[in-house]
Amino acid sequence: MDEVKLVYSINEPEKLLLYMARVSNTKNQDSGNTKLIKYLIDNKHWSPFDMIPFGFEIVTCRAIQEQIIRHWSLRFQIFSQRYAKVEGYHVYPARMQDPVSRQSSLTCDNPEILEWFDQAQREVNTLAQKKYAEALKLGIAKDHARFLLTMGSHSKIYAAGSLRSWIHFLDVRDHEHAQWQTQEIARGIKTILMDFVPHTAQALGWMSVNDE
């Protein structure tokens, strides 16, 4: 399934955040008073958050990858199907169309549909992977052989951005109308960030996955 892990950050990110925010108050620039973080967020003073970098590794499939890379304020390095052989695919549980919102899906409680969708994904991806392997064996270039792969094929992204960009990403993707799998990725990123920027997380009203 999909996975998220932190690739890099800086030491004491909130200490640097406060230092940057007090650029015009050099007398108190090293103050450890974290109440300023809530003030910055409440008054939408986001520029200090631009100074704090975080990079994540996201393992997912091509379909979910397309949702993530739409966030232009982040920067990406993406597994290239042009240069590397694709191995494996992701299988997800069926979710049902929300009759009210075209963007939303609902939990599927029908075991027959769940089983059908699981098997359908495996059959389609197994055939695609087989034909893909045959194409490579015939000498067809990877950048053309990939046309045989499904949107469920395996991929990996390195995503880099400022704390401000990740806050925006989570605001959009940890939302009930976002793709369910993208929500799960967002929650994984949020859980990691909560450990590194706890005062920021508190000011934003974030809760851990277990608290929701």
Q: Which amino acid is at 191?
A: T
Closest CA to 92 of 166, 169, 208, 183: 183
Instruction: Provide CB contacts within 8 A for 92, sequence distance 6+.
Output: 1, 121, 152, 181
Check if 173 is active-site: yes
Burial of 54 (0-12, 13-18, 19+ CB in 10 A): buried
**Spatial distance between the Cα atoms of 83 and 10, rounded to a whole number of angstroms:** 32
Is residue 25 within 8 Å of 114, Cβ to Cβ? no
Burial of 91 (0-12, 13-18, 19+ CB in 10 A): middle
DSSP 63-116: HHHHHHTT-TTSEEEE--TTTS----B-----EEEPSS-TT-EEE---HHHHHH
**Spatial distance between the Cα atoms of 189 and 183, rounded to a whole number of angstroms:** 10
Active-site residue (options: 22, 62, 102, 173): 173
* Residue 149: both structure tokens together: 């792969």
Radius of gyration (C-alpha) of the chain in whole angstroms: 21
The residues carrying an active-site annotation are: 173
